[in-house]
Amino acid sequence: MRTKSGHYRHAAFVLLILMLFTLSGCGETYPIHDYEIDRDKHPGWHFYEGSQYVEHLEVSFSGTGLSGSDPAERATYLVFESSGAAKTYYKKCIKDCKDSEAEIYERGTNWFISHVPHTYDAEITRMYYLDQNVIICADVYIAMYNTLGDSDSINNSDMKEYILDNHGEMRESVMELFS
């Protein structure tokens, strides 16, 4: 038979184990400075190191003939060393949009769609989706202008639903490029 203090100790122990289990996923780090993409296995994919706000890798597809056919290839992936670093960058993106008075058209728990601030000769509407240590970015609408009065536009509005439905698989795919 357990005493009252024995129940409290048992409950405290279980609570401690649950907290450690929950926090263990939050602390995972990814050695992004050691990452390389095997170009033979993944032709058309490339990356470079970015440092705006927080260090990260910017991963995108530029394969010939295939670009644009697969929605996952039309996105850009920002890969961070941790979920916390990705969240910091994500929050800074929202703040930058607000500070520059760029319109945020839609917003969800881990995503938003906004006019991209500080762009000239173009109007870009971009979606940002935060998934663990990766931010998926996709231009959902682009209108380009030049001094001759010409204009061109690209409508990728299908990307919103695609990302909302497939962000987990998209994140896994980009992380597998580095394995």
Q: Which domain holds residue 5?
A: 1-28
Cα separation, 55 vs 48, whole angstroms: 11
Res. 75: pLDDT tops 80: yes
**Residue 167's CB: how many other CB atoms inside 10 A?**
19
Domain identity same for 15 and 49:
no
For residue range 4-33, list pLDDT tens digits in order: 555 556 544 444 444 434 444 456 888 888
Q: Which residues contact 108 (CB under 8 A, 6 or more apart)?
A: 164
Residues 81 and 4 in one domain: no
Phi, psi (rounded to 5 degrees) for 135: -110, 125
0.85 exceeded by the pTM?
Answer: no
What's the Cα-to-Cα distance from 27 to each of 14, 49, 171, rounded to whole Å? 20, 22, 18
Residues 132 and 73 in one domain: yes
Q: Which two tokens stand for residue 21?
A: 């289990």
66 and 23 share one domain:
no
Rg (CA), the chain: 21
Q: Is the domain of 12 the same as that of 53? A: no
Angle at 52 between CA 46 and CA 53, to 5 degrees: 130
DSSP 19-35: HHHHHHHHT-B--GGG-
pLDDT bucket at 68, cuts 50 / 70 / 90:
low
For tokens 């992936």, the residue is: 77
Q: Are 19 and 98 within one domain?
A: no
pLDDT tens by residue, 89-114: 999 999 999 999 988 999 999 999 99
For 49-68, what is the mean pLDDT? Answer: 78
